[in-house]
Structures are given as structure tokens and as C-alpha cells.
Amino acid sequence: MRTRITNITLTPGVQGQAHIPFIDHAEVHVVGNRIEYAGEAANAPPFVEDETIDGSGCLCMPGLVNLHTHTPMTYLRSVGGDLSLDDWLHKAIFPLEKQWDAQLIRTATDLGCMEMIRFGTTTFNDMYFYTDEIAEVVKQNGMRALLGHGIVDFDESCADMVEGVRMAEKWHHGANDRIRFSLAPHSEGATTPTLLRKVAQTAKSMGLVVHTHVSETDFDLQGCIKRRGATPPAYLEQIGLLDGPVIAAHCVWFNDADIEIFQKHGVTIAHNPISNLKLASGIAPIAKMLKQGCKVALGTDGVASNNNLNLWEEIKLMPMLQKGNMLDPLVVSPAETFAAATVVGAKAIGYDDLGLLKPGYLADLILLDLQVPHMAPTIDLEANLIYAAQGSDVRLTMVDGKILYRDGVFTTLNRQQLLAQAEQGAHEMRTRLSKQA
């Protein structure tokens, strides 16, 4: 398939520049799953297309990368609204999570993917259970994902890790390389040193990324200091877990030495500002981390602590929180924020050819409507994009060269059917739980 996207304003994305570049009167040529040209229409080489997409009034930009989520948790949306973290987990979340089965997981995952596709997320990084089912669903619905089977092991059997490795062998680079697998030990507190050492060795020998939660709460930090005599980053460094690529979610309770350790090892921090606020975990020192040269990307976390998968909310909140917290409007630029929502996550997941719109890169892109009141005037498009744009402005979502959403229509998912199934499935979980009580 050869596709020409025409009459657009284009941003090829941003990597290291001080400002997000924009090109007016641009077009993009997609051949198969890759970009062949992205730039001024006047300079475009001759191109014969099968399909033309008229992007008049739209900005064409790289698809968003949600670097930390637990997608099936859509069924737990708005569960345990305003409880303490401990009550939220033990009284609201865990009892419901015990009710999952394979069929419920499949529909809940599709619901989350539909939401992400709708809001322009093309790639997500997931950690959950029933991960074979999640991979099957992603294979069908066309998204790109790094999937990890949650490893929670306190004994020496390492059963979850064995499962995670089996799944990685089955799925890594699957579905035309849209699916990749990580090893996903839940956190320091949910694993043993023996297990984490095994994870580090196995990830290295299999060439896998490690995805884990780090210092989400002060409770996590204090527990780690008590158990291991070190902060989580120092402990993970000692164990050898940071020798390969790592995606660390949260990193809220970090001191200067922790930041230095993560910078030194090139760990990518998955910052989830809404989840951290909702669960009253705190505010991660993102401005400091960026200043020290850490890699920072954005995530929503699971729906239960957000309560949606609309990454545009994180895009606005990330710089706002740092400005307010540091009493300095100059910390965290729009360009750093845009990179955090796109290319930084793409690289962390392990793709060298994702997160920017340039020749040879994978065709994961979105069209954003600029002809809406809250985006006018478009004099400062960079600021509009970070502080004014809405997820609902997304008009088209393309992953791997294939359109998954366009003007209200999902091409791989049946919206009405899925919403009805999801409603039924979420009720089913609650019915099962109440019968046990």
C-alpha cells in the first residue's frame, strides 16, 4: 500500500532541539509500513499512491507513546474513587483483579486499546497478567506494544518469570514486529534479590528490556531501605539490573544520588503525573532529572489510577506541575514534553526507527485537527500543542502504515459491540466478587 498524506502542517517530531519544528504545506509518503518522504510538498519526489488522505486543516505528527500502563484495568475505571493507597489496593483493586479470566481480559484490553487509538496513542508499554491474551488482542487490533508479564515472586520457584520468558520466546518481534516483550518484575518490594539477578541475566541473554516500578511512594522507598539497606536505584544497580535497558515507572521519591545512578545507566523514567497525584504518591523531580540528562517519557499508568488513557492530559500536566512546584516557569520546555510523549518512549521500547516522521522510520502517525476553537490562533503552534490540544482533536491514527481510526470510525474494532461487551464484562466481574462475599 502506498499512501500520500497531503495538505498538512507537519512536525517530524523533536529530538534534542530547543523547539518543535513545524513545516507548512507539507506531505508525507508512506510505503508499506514505512515513511518514504516527510517534508514540504513542493520538494517532494514524484510519488504514485494507492490512497490519498487529505489532511487539510490538520497537523501530522508522530503517534504518542504511552510508556507505562496496565491496559486491561479499563474494567476497574473509577473503582475505589478516593481511598487511601492501602485501602484502594487491598479493598478495591485486588479483590476485583482476582475475578479476571481470559475472555474478560481480552475485551478489557481491546477497550483500552480503542481508547488509546482514539486519542492518538500508537504504542504502549504494558505490564499485567494473562499476557498471552493481551498479545493476541494487540496482534488483532493493530497497535504497537511492549508487553511484559508481571513478575511477583517471593519464593525461589520464579514461576512468573518462567511464564514471562515463555511468552517472550513466543511473541517477541511478533505481528510484523509490532509486538515486543519485556521482562517485568513488578517492583523491588514484590521480588527477591535472587529473582532480580535472574531477571537481569535473562534479559541480557535474550536482549529484552526490563520494565519495573521504582520508588512510587515513600512507603516503597522506606521499605527498600529497611529490606536492602539502600534506595531502590542503588539496590537495582548493585543487583546488576541497570546494566541493560530499563524502563522505570514513577521514580517519585528520588534523591540526587538516585538521579545520578539512573542518568549514568541510561534508564528511561516513565513519568505518570496524574496517577501520582491521584494516589497522593507525590511529584517526581522531573525538572531536575531532565537537567541532569535523564531520559524521561510519559505514561498514564492503569485506568484505575488515572481514570483514562488520554496521554494529552499528561502532556499538559508534566510541565505545569514542574513550573508550579519549582516556582519557575522556565523549567521543562514544550520540546522536552513533546519528546517525552513520543520519541523518548519509542527508543526506550527498543525501536531505533520509531517516534519521528522521517524517511525509513515506521509509519506510526496521527492527524490532529487544528480547525477547532481551542487551537486558534495557530500563531504559537508549539504552545498550542502542549497546553491547548485535546485528545479528541485526533482525526486519524495510523500504526505500521495502517489506518486504525479515522473521523469516528475504528477499522479493526467494532465500537458499539465492544462497548456493550465491556459493560457486560465489568458487571460480570462485580457479580462474581459479590457472590464470594
**Contact residues for Zn ion (CB under 5 A)?**
301
Residue showing the smallest CB distance to Zn ion in the complex: 301
| Identity of the amino acid at 67 | L
Partners of 126 in the β-ladder: 69, 147
Compare residues 9 and 268 and give the one whose CB is closer to Zn ion.
268
Least gap, CB of 393 to Zn ion (angstroms): 27
Compare residues 317 and 363 and give the one whose CB is closer to Zn ion.
317
Q: What are phi and psi for residue 15, nearest 5 degrees?
A: -145, 95
Compare residues 301 and 364 and give the one whose CB is closer to Zn ion.
301
Compare residues 252 and 344 and give the one whose CB is closer to Zn ion.
252
Compare residues 301 and 313 and give the one whose CB is closer to Zn ion.
301
Find out whether 365 and 61 touch, Cβ atoms under 8 Å: yes
- In angstroms, rounded to a whole number, what is the distance separating the alpha carbons of residues 148 and 166? 11
**C-alpha cell belonging to residue 179:** 509486538
Least gap, CB of 301 to Zn ion (angstroms): 5
Compare residues 4 and 278 and give the one whose CB is closer to Zn ion.
278
Least gap, CB of 159 to Zn ion (angstroms): 21
Least gap, CB of 410 to Zn ion (angstroms): 26
177 secondary structure, DSSP code = H
Least gap, CB of 151 to Zn ion (angstroms): 13
Least gap, CB of 278 to Zn ion (angstroms): 12
Cβ neighbourhood burial of 98 (10 Å; 0-12, 13-18, 19+): exposed
338 secondary structure, DSSP code = H
Task: For cell 513520543, name the residue.
Answer: 342
Compare residues 301 and 400 and give the one whose CB is closer to Zn ion.
301
Compare residues 303 and 368 and give the one whose CB is closer to Zn ion.
303
**C-alpha cell belonging to residue 273:** 503525573
Least gap, CB of 78 to Zn ion (angstroms): 17
Task: For cell 497546553, name the residue.
Answer: 387
Least gap, CB of 355 to Zn ion (angstroms): 22
Task: For cell 512507603, name the residue.
Answer: 219
Residues 380, 383, 384, 386: what is their CA dihedral angle, to the nearest 10 degrees?
160
Q: Where are the beta strands (DSSP E) in 99-223?
A: 121-128, 144-151, 179-185, 209-214
Task: For cell 493481551, name the residue.
Answer: 134
Nearest to 294 by CA among 327, 328, 246, 330: 246
Q: Going by C-beta distance under 8 Å and a sequence separation of 6 or more, which residues neighbour residue 229? A: none
